[in-house]
Structure 1
């Protein structure tokens, strides 16, 4: 791959558009935003990829996973800040696992994103100075990413975070937590499952604190000479996350203290593959959690304790994903004019064969024949070997040996042959509403170029229109498709705006996928684009990578954006104008 091609394929808009197409999501490149609304991913436009390339595409993969997998209504069901933060974290783990399974290559960019987040100091080890809710969130962040997504940067932080929590949280909580994570983290299938796991973890904390309080109260009254009752309140052996406490719970008439995975499955846990609990149990699970809390009012368990403080905490750590969004926005390209702009990467449906009378294209078809013959003549002259005499070499021109007597040693034959690079061309045809009086000329210009270039050796062509069929741009002729059998596709009508930037981005993507060492873009339009700032951005991006030319149809507005341009006002000017453009495309001098 040559350097031009390599640089183009690494360009942010090109790769972002390709990612969006692969993931099946809509991507919009914006001058200053990084966000997702559940349908569209908005990425900031950076000047270059540099070291942020993998981080940005990790963010794109993460947000694409949310669009593909998440229900954005789930967080609305959360009843506390800690529940919301934990649900969001658990859901992030679930959806990243899903997209890594569907697209294994995303693992590397997602890991690069997390490495960057950690390096920026957004996921520190908790301290005892922080609230218990913050400590719990940071510990879970390290543990879930380290264990269930194998993010190595967090694995050494798990024991460090655990040491901090052990100073505040009940010992029984960690046993329960181990059982819950082992059973449910790998089997979640929906966003509501993430909420259920979060609620089960919080209930485990509540149960562990209650158990600890009961043990503390019963301690002084117990006979130290007798071994302790293994299940004083129906809990069973807390060291066994799978212990069954149904019988002891029946004796006491209260199973609130049981936060084993099985109990969590009955009240808070997610549905699993066996269908033990349907997702319709979500509301009843939440109601049960609330009733559990209210039923403890008569007991000292949890009153003013860790669980209560965790549930009432309002000041949670900022989500690292949100910090990444803000960081990306701060690095976004700032246009000199101070105006923001966007480029939508969406592509409409292919243009189908038209049923119109192709006689409307005859002027363009005839012009293409004339251009083709002249171009072929120039190609033959250009590729013909040029021969001259030199004073050194390996082959002597016998007819010039007489020069030696006069002291002229230039009798050696030298030959030079100019090798023309293979070229891929993409033509963009403006079909906006302002083209209504000029569309016929534009159609003829487009078909002339398509027919002429498609017959030139070492050249191939693709043609697209903007606006397209249900999108900003639509393919008319794909690369490698024959032009003449598809002439009906060039009979297009006018309507809509002028999404030139979106069309140029699509053309750049298409050209970057070609294997020719040279790429050429030809724009046929009559006026100014919808978004001139975005056009300038893309022209700057493609500079030195794609040779760009413009044909103005009855307007010289193209000169405001393109360095190489020409204007035609009448079909009679078509031949000479197209010849100038075609000659420039092929580096030919008439």
Structure 2
């Protein structure tokens, strides 16, 4: 799959970046956050704009940088005040992003776009001189990489200087040390404390003007009427809620605003879950074996005919002694050429619907699934995988508020075939979410051809989400086929690439007719 194409699709962006950085990325739920190992994005619109893709990529890059580089154990031991923590975040965000960009240079342009997008378009300036100090610190650090912020930084710096003369001059040497020597989370802690210490010194030294200080007087003065020294003292004593959002929080808020209210309009990717699987019972296994042999015989016969290498006689190639008699008739065709050999290099992933509506059909569906997997696994050049949906509680991170759709791998690509295909049927039908998860796994496989076969009996929870996922899959070159089990519902999603079967004996002809073109590229 072409990389540029992948990076236009949010689920594939999440998959590619997650694997690249060695973290997990989950799409679904209500919030954007990280738990130290998994990055969570909320449910997002099916139609993702370039801006939304940029915000999501920036959030993944940013949080992955913290997961990889920040020493949270040092941070806990430091026991910073809220203001010290905020200043630390400004320095640490910049540091970890630079560390990540050294390893993965491509993310530097992502960070620069993000900084310009979040900070470069802000025309309003806070009237609070103390909060302006934090804004100046942020713009100063970010302008190191995005020089277009220099004008904003200087405007804010002049505003700060007009209220706290000499403060910018005292803070600048600290920033120079951050730029030159900040190599660890511990360094950022030390420099953040140094900045806050300078602010405390400034607050202590700056006397109230005209004796009109509100300190010690009853009543509450509005912030707009507050003296600079009082504003600075208020900043020093501020709680988390009183301080501006850091970069990660601002990004998370931007992503949450994009989350649609309606399920049909949202994009979610299923998470790994757990599900009990058992061996198919001996009686069913015998029927499955017969169906598998019938299917394999037809497919192998078809494939073997395509793999035959025919010998061609021509005027160049390797000399064939058996053709030398042609020379007596002035026929120069005494050389042998091998015919073109067509190989099979295909990954097939079976997506097994085991939702509640499948209860009466799950036995037949499990047999069909095992028969197809067994038949394909026996054919050289085909790499088979099987995934059931939905599964149980997520096992790859998340919290109690983000219990989204789940899947459970039954047979992983490259794993040896087994008989544990018997599953129970329960839950909803999150086909779109499950399909996205499978698509994320398949794009890393080495096989040149990729096929997803859906076994289902009914309509998905969200038809729009499922249709969008299938269309994206085709855009990436994945071929999608469906088998309806005692139901024609699959034909709504795949009208030209599906078959209906009502009993196991119908499997071989249905699959043969459907996969013949797929495996031989004769669709």
TM over 0.5: yes
Counterpart selection for 2:14 from 13, 16, 23: 16
Question: What is the SS of the residue equivalent to 1:516?
Answer: coil
Does 2:511 match 1:573? Answer: no
In 2, Cα distance between equivalents of 1:169 and 1:519: 64
Give yes or no for contact 1:371–1:579 (8 Å, CA) kept in 2.
Answer: yes
Displacement of 1:417: 3.2
Query: Could you tell me which residue of structure 1 aligns to residue 416 of structure 2?
Result: 482
Query: Could you tell me which residue of structure 2 aligns to residue 266 of structure 1?
Result: none
Query: Could you tell me which residue of structure 2 aligns to residue 370 of structure 1?
Result: 294
Does 2:160 match 1:168? Answer: no
In 2, Cα distance between equivalents of 1:399 and 1:421: 36
Specify whether residues 161 and 15 from structure 1 end up closer, same or farther in structure 2 by C-alpha distance, changes over 3 A only.
same
Question: What is the SS of the residue equivalent to 2:481?
Answer: strand
Question: What is the SS of the residue equivalent to 1:473?
Answer: strand
Note the aligned Cα RMSD (angstroms): 5.3
Give yes or no for contact 2:358–2:425 (8 Å, CA) kept in 1.
Answer: yes
Does 2:384 match 1:451? Answer: no
Specify whether residues 493 and 399 from structure 1 end up closer, same or farther in structure 2 by C-alpha distance, changes over 3 A only.
farther
In 2, Cα distance between equivalents of 1:190 and 1:470: 40
Specify whether residues 96 and 573 from structure 1 end up closer, same or farther in structure 2 by C-alpha distance, changes over 3 A only.
farther
Does 2:399 match 1:467? Answer: no
* Structure-to-structure mapping, 1:190-269, within 5 angstroms: 200=197, 202-210=199-207
Displacement of 1:423: 0.8
Give yes or no for contact 1:25–1:41 (8 Å, CA) kept in 2.
Answer: no
Query: Could you tell me which residue of structure 1 aligns to residue 145 of structure 2?
Result: 151
* Structure-to-structure mapping, 1:407-556, within 5 angstroms: 417=340, 419-471=342-394, 472-483=406-417, 486-487=418-419, 489-544=420-475, 545-556=477-488
Question: What is the SS of the residue equivalent to 2:416?
Answer: coil
Give yes or no for contact 1:423–1:518 (8 Å, CA) kept in 2.
Answer: yes
Displacement of 1:548: 0.4
Give yes or no for contact 1:91–1:194 (8 Å, CA) kept in 2.
Answer: no
Specify whether residues 204 and 431 from structure 1 end up closer, same or farther in structure 2 by C-alpha distance, changes over 3 A only.
farther
Higher-RCO chain (CA-CA 8 Å, sequence separation at least 6)? 2
TM (normalized to structure 2)? 0.72
Query: Could you tell me which residue of structure 2 aligns to residue 28 of structure 1?
Result: 27
Specify whether residues 172 and 547 from structure 1 end up closer, same or farther in structure 2 by C-alpha distance, changes over 3 A only.
closer
Query: Could you tell me which residue of structure 2 aligns to residue 340 of structure 1?
Result: 265
| Structure 1 stretches lacking a partner, 5+ long | 218-291, 298-302, 405-409
In 1, Cα distance between equivalents of 2:194 and 2:367: 63
Give yes or no for contact 1:364–1:445 (8 Å, CA) kept in 2.
Answer: yes
Specify whether residues 475 and 130 from structure 1 end up closer, same or farther in structure 2 by C-alpha distance, changes over 3 A only.
same
In 1, Cα distance between equivalents of 2:441 and 2:131: 48
Does 2:375 match 1:381? Answer: no
Displacement of 1:166: 2.7
TM (normalized to structure 1)? 0.64
In 2, Cα distance between equivalents of 1:510 and 1:308: 57
* Structure-to-structure mapping, 1:35-50, within 5 angstroms: 35-36=32-33, 40-42=40-42, 44-45=44-45, 47=47
The number of aligned residues is 480
In 2, Cα distance between equivalents of 1:473 and 1:304: 57
Question: Mean alpha-carbon deviation: is it higher for 422-431 or for 570-579?
Answer: 570-579
In 2, Cα distance between equivalents of 1:509 and 1:439: 26
Question: What is the SS of the residue equivalent to 2:303?
Answer: helix
Give yes or no for contact 2:58–2:114 (8 Å, CA) kept in 1.
Answer: no
Q: Deviations over 1:396-451 (max 9, x none)?
A: 998999xx9xxxxx999998536245111111111111111111111111111111
In 2, Cα distance between equivalents of 1:587 and 1:561: 23
Does 2:485 match 1:561? Answer: no
Displacement of 1:118: 1.8
Specify whether residues 142 and 339 from structure 1 end up closer, same or farther in structure 2 by C-alpha distance, changes over 3 A only.
same
Query: Could you tell me which residue of structure 1 aligns to residue 228 of structure 2?
Result: 306
